[in-house]
């Protein structure tokens, strides 16, 4: 009675998710190559907040 194999992946970091989303936005033309990126604007678009490193 074997079912489908479930692949358990480790949780990804939010930073990795945002990085991938930015790559997708550049690839599909939502962020044209050469567009100036501002951390605050990107954080808002990603639904996160800017976090300063300690």
- On the question of pLDDT at 54 being above 80, the answer is no
- On the question of pLDDT at 35 being above 80, the answer is yes
pLDDT at 53: 58
Choose between 25 and 11: higher pLDDT: 25
Instruction: Give residue 33's pLDDT band: very low, low, confident or very high (50, 70, 90).
Output: confident
The distance from CA 35 to its chain's CA centroid, rounded to whole angstroms, is 17
């Amino acid at each position: 009675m074997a079912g489908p194999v479930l692949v358990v992946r480790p949780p990804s970091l939010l930073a990795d998710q945002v990085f991938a989303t930015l790559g997708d936005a550049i690839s599909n033309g939502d962020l044209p190559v050469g567009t100036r990126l501002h951390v605050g604007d990107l954080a808002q678009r990603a639904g996160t907040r800017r976090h300063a490193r300690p």
